[in-house]
């Protein structure tokens, strides 16, 4: 069987042997399973494994089917085999022996022995030997005569079997090496001493860069490994913080970029990744960045351990906290370039080191995120000088308090009174109801631009309409009566006496007087009816919102406000309300400067900008305010050209400049006045 055939056909056996070498099982069980797997892989007849005891004696660890190849007690082949084993261990070289070398008729001539030493630290620690029986020719049944076997030149397939055996002996070397380290008290004591020094060193600093640099450089010799790196998750990005043996990390290099991509995937997955030459069993999202990094770095073995946030001992008793897995914030990357595997001892120690690095690095990152950390650090250094100096502490506190009080008393600051209000056009008309009635029709809509004398709405007064109809009917009756009297007078001229004519003329004159009065009443009532249609006295914009919903078919009373028209093209000003208890400062400041007081204000429609104006007019009396209780109305002139958004009724927060006062009064004057108002 060739090496290529073993690789293709028995890859599962090779993987099984590798898992055995990495497992923590007793030596006897390991070597027995190990021997069975080798015999199965090479399709051999028998095999045995020998080791050297601490006293230098040869001991057989395990065997399989030695009787099939005539290796029995007191046999000539057994004595020869022991000699071959001793010679192989002395020469430290793999060899092939044939039973024909003995030249004895008592020994089967179809036995081929393949031997390979197990070398640990350049010294033989044991030996693996595999036995093959050559198949006899069809005409030979003795099993002792092999005419085609040349003792000086083994068959080619046994040379290839020797190469395969040497490759498989590497796994036994690995197993014995890490088992020796794990069981050695000297190694344990040395490791724990170095581990304590390393942990102490990484906890000495609260600077994340120093912690990472110390961890990778001291941890590299502690594990040991060829390269040790730390990557940290910062928001959506992952950066390589430190690499062993490098003072600075070149983030532009391909190796670092591929390492960051690989570490980012592992941190997001929150699961350790180990590569020992095969990507079998790895998640699909990891294989691609892992292959790219291995191609760039030349790493043969790799282990990436997520660095997780340490759990709080106080919150660990909470069931909800237990159910949540710790959140990773970085990764520890262990690499071997010269070795093709990471021993279980190294992997266990890497996990232990990662746990301590997580705690130290997480504490350093939390400390480094403190607001104004450099300032607090310098302040702490200054305050440390006062430790143990109580008199100096008292003097410093007195000086500090005196300085604060003096500064608040003597330092001037601008005192400002707060007010609230609205931005409005100066030219505006508020439309009122002229009579009691009902809104019958609306001719405009909200936001409409109108001109002077534009009809706005029409009211309906049922009493007025009824009265007008009644007077018109009376007028018609009187006109008919006057016409009848005129006809009677004309008839009286022909038939009646002069007394009848005079009487009829008097009646007609009386009716004419009544007609004149009724005509005047009709004209007056028609004038009142025309007044029900309300017109605008100015050109502007209808500012009242949702007129139809607010007014249509709604009863109103005389003097009730119906809508507003404002001229946006004209000047603008602020109408503000100043709290009554603040007006004393405003009046005092106004009397002192004898001029308009400057103010600054902020529009709700443009809070990012501050504008200025002048206090123009103060009301002579206080009024009720929904916000301030009692307040004084005031108007402020503004430069409307500087306003980006001139919206009718925009809310305004204003501050009236009331001159200079000491800093203490500016900061605490409101508290002082509040106490005065409540306790007086």
- CATH number of the domain at 276, please: 3.30.450.40
Give pLDDT, residue 305: 94
3-state secondary structure of 567: coil
Chain-centroid distance, C-alpha 418: 39
Question: What are 530-580's pLDDT values in tens digits?
Answer: 888 888 888 988 888 888 888 888 888 888 888 889 988 888 899 889 988
Label each residue of 55-99 as H, E or C.
CCCEEEEEEECHHHHCCCCCCHHHHHHHHHHHHHHHHCCCEEEEH
Give pLDDT, residue 496: 61
Question: What are 88-134's pLDDT values in tens digits?
Answer: 888 888 888 887 776 665 566 677 888 888 888 778 888 898 888 77
Q: How many domains does the chain have?
A: 5
Please give the mean pLDDT across all residues of the chain.
Answer: 82
- Are 337 and 197 in the same domain? yes
User: Looking at the domain assignment, is residue 54 inside a domain?
Assistant: yes
- Are 234 and 294 in the same domain? yes
- Are 115 and 145 in the same domain? yes
Which one is predicted more confidently, 516 or 23? 516
Calculate the CA dihedral of residues 481, 484, 490, 492 and round it to 10 degrees.
-90
Which span out of 337-346, 358-367, 477-486 was modeled with the highest average pLDDT?
358-367
pLDDT confidence tier of residue 322, bands split at 50, 70 and 90: low
Contact present, 532 and 408 (Cβ < 8 Å): no
Contact present, 444 and 598 (Cβ < 8 Å): no
| Strand 540-542 with 598-603, pairing | unpaired
- Check whether 263 has a pLDDT greater than 90: yes
Give pLDDT, residue 104: 62
Contact present, 581 and 678 (Cβ < 8 Å): no
pTM of the shown model: 0.52
- At 628, give phi and psi (nearest 5°): -105, 0
Question: What are 222-244's pLDDT values in tens digits?
Answer: 888 889 999 999 888 999 999 99
CA-to-CA distance for 368 and 359, rounded, in angstroms?
A: 14
**Domain containing residue 389:** 374-410
Give pLDDT, residue 215: 93
CA-to-CA distance for 368 and 345, rounded, in angstroms?
A: 34
Q: Which of 563, 582, 601 is the last residue of a domain?
A: 563
User: Looking at the domain assignment, is residue 50 inside a domain?
Assistant: yes
- Are 165 and 33 in the same domain? yes
CA-to-CA distance for 168 and 511, rounded, in angstroms?
A: 143
Which one is predicted more confidently, 677 or 221? 221
Could you tell me the two tokens for 647?
């919206």
Q: Which of 156, 183, 210 is the last residue of a domain?
A: 183
Contact present, 48 and 35 (Cβ < 8 Å): yes
User: Looking at the domain assignment, is residue 396 inside a domain?
Assistant: yes
Q: Which of 120, 153, 183 is the last residue of a domain?
A: 183
User: Looking at the domain assignment, is residue 249 inside a domain?
Assistant: yes
650-677 burial, b for 16+ CB within 10 Å, e for fewer? bebbbbbbbeeebbbebeeeeeeeeeee
- Are 552 and 458 in the same domain? yes
Give pLDDT, residue 118: 87
Q: Which of 357, 399, 395, 98 is nearest to 229 (CA)?
A: 357
3-state secondary structure of 472: helix
CATH number at 451 reads 1.10.287
User: Looking at the domain assignment, is residue 415 inside a domain?
Assistant: no
- The kind and range of the H/E element at 579 are strand 572-579
Give pLDDT, residue 509: 86
In sequence order, which residues have a C-beta less than 8 Å from that of residue 531 and are 6 or more positions away? 434, 435
- Check whether 315 has a pLDDT greater than 80: no
In sequence order, which residues have a C-beta less than 8 Å from that of residue 204 and are 6 or more positions away? 214
Give pLDDT, residue 31: 86
Taking residues 326-333, what's their average pLDDT? 91
Unique residue bearing structure tokens 């009386």 = 510
pLDDT confidence tier of residue 316, bands split at 50, 70 and 90: very low
Could you tell me the two tokens for 122?
């350049």
User: Looking at the domain assignment, is residue 653 inside a domain?
Assistant: yes
CA-to-CA distance for 19 and 23, rounded, in angstroms?
A: 6
CA-to-CA distance for 309 and 315, rounded, in angstroms?
A: 13
Give pLDDT, residue 8: 44
- Are 136 and 168 in the same domain? yes
CATH number at 588 reads 2.40.30.170
pLDDT confidence tier of residue 643, bands split at 50, 70 and 90: confident
- Check whether 585 has a pLDDT greater than 80: yes
Q: Which of 142, 125, 213 is nearest to 177 (CA)?
A: 125
- Are 402 and 452 in the same domain? no
User: What is the maximal distance between C-alpha atoms in the chain?
Assistant: 195
- Check whether 169 has a pLDDT greater than 90: no
Using CA atoms, how far residue 92 sits from 79, 157, 162, 421, 650, in Å, is 20, 22, 14, 100, 97
- Are 249 and 394 in the same domain? no
- Are 204 and 351 in the same domain? yes
Question: What are 137-157's pLDDT values in tens digits?
Answer: 444 433 333 333 344 444 446
User: Looking at the domain assignment, is residue 319 inside a domain?
Assistant: no
Using CA atoms, how far residue 128 sits from 96, 578, 599, in Å, is 12, 102, 99
- Are 152 and 39 in the same domain? yes
User: Looking at the domain assignment, is residue 238 inside a domain?
Assistant: yes
- Are 221 and 364 in the same domain? yes
- Are 143 and 190 in the same domain? no
CA contacts within 13 A on the Cβ side of 309: 14
CA-to-CA distance for 74 and 53, rounded, in angstroms?
A: 23
Which one is predicted more confidently, 20 or 228? 228
């Amino acid at each position: 069987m060739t090496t290529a055939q073993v690789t293709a056909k028995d890859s599962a056996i090779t993987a099984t042997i590798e898992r055995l070498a990495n497992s923590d099982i007793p030596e006897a069980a390991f070597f027995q399973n190990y021997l069975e797997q080798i015999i199965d892989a090479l399709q051999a007849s028998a095999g045995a494994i020998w080791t050297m005891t601490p006293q230098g004696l040869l001991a057989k660890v395990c065997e399989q089917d030695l009787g099939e190849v005539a290796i029995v007690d007191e046999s000539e082949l057994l004595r020869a085999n022991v000699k071959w084993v001793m010679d192989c261990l002395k020469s430290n070289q793999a060899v092939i022996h044939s039973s024909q070398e003995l030249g004895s008729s008592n020994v089967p001539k179809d036995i081929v022995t393949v031997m390979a030493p197990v070398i640990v630290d350049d010294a033989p620690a044991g030996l693996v030997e595999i036995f093959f029986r050559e198949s006899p020719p069809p005409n030979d049944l003795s099993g002792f005569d092999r005419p085609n076997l040349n003792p000086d030149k083994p068959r080619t397939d046994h040379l290839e079997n020797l190469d395969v055996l040497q490759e498989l002996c590497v796994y036994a070397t690995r197993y014995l090496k890490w088992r020796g380290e794990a069981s050695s008290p000297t190694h344990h004591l040395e490791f724990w001493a170095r581990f304590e020094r390393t942990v102490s060193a990484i906890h000495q600093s609260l600077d994340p860069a120093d912690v990472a640099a110390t961890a990778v450089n001291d941890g590299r010799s502690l594990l040991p490994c060829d390269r040790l790196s730390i990557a940290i998750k910062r928001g959506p990005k992952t950066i390589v913080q430190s690499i062993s043996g490098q003072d600075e990390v070149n983030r532009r290099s391909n190796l670092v970029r591929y390492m960051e991509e690989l570490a980012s995937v592992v941190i997001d997955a929150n699961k350790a990744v180990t590569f020992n030459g095969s990507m079998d069993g790895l998640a699909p999202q990891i294989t691609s960045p892992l292959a790219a990094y291995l191609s760039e770095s030349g790493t043969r073995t790799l282990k990436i351990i997520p660095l997780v946030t340490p759990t709080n001992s106080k919150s660990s008793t909470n069931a909800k906290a237990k159910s949540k897995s710790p959140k990773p914030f970085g990764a520890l990357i262990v690499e071997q370039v010269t070795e093709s595997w990471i021993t279980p001892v190294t992997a266990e120690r890497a996990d232990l080191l990662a746990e301590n690095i997580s705690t130290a690095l997480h504490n350093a990152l939390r400390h480094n995120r403190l607001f104004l950390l450099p300032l607090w650090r310098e302040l702490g250094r200054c305050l440390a000088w006062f430790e143990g100096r109580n008199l100096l502490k008292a003097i410093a506190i007195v000086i500090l308090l005196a300085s604060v009080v003096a500064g608040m008393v003597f330092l001037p600051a601008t005192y400002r009174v707060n007010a609230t209000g609205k931005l409005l056009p100066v030219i505006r008309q508020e439309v009122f109801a002229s009579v009691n009635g009902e809104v019958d029709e609306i001719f405009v809509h909200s936001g409409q631009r109108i001109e002077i004398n534009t009809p706005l709405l029409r009211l309906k007064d049922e009493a007025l309409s009824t009265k007008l109809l009644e007077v018109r009917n009376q007028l018609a009756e009187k006109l008919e009566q006057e016409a009848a009297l005129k006809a009677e007078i004309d008839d009286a001229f022909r038939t009646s006496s002069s007394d009848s004519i005079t009487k009829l003329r008097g009646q007609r004159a009386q009716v004419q007087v009544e007609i004149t009065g009724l005509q005047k009443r009709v004209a007056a009532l028609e004038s009142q009816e025309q007044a029900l249609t309300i017109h605008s006295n100015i050109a502007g914009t209808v500012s009242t919102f949702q007129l139809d919903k607010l007014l249509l078919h709604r009863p109103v009373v005389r003097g009730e406000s119906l809508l507003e028209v404002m001229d946006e093209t004209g000047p603008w000003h602020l109408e503000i309300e100043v709290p009554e208890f603040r007006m004393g400062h405003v009046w005092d400041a106004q009397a002192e400067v004898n001029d308009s007081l400057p103010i600054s204000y902020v529009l709700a429609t443009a809070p990012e900008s501050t504008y200025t104006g002048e206090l123009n007019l103060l009301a002579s009396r206080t009024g009720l305010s929904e916000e301030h209780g009692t307040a004084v109305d005031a108007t402020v002139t503004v430069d409307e050209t500087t306003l980006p958004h001139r919206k009718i009724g925009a809310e305004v927060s204003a501050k009236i400049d009331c001159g200079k006062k000491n800093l203490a009064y500016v900061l605490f004057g409101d508290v002082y006045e509040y106490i005065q108002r409540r306790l007086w």
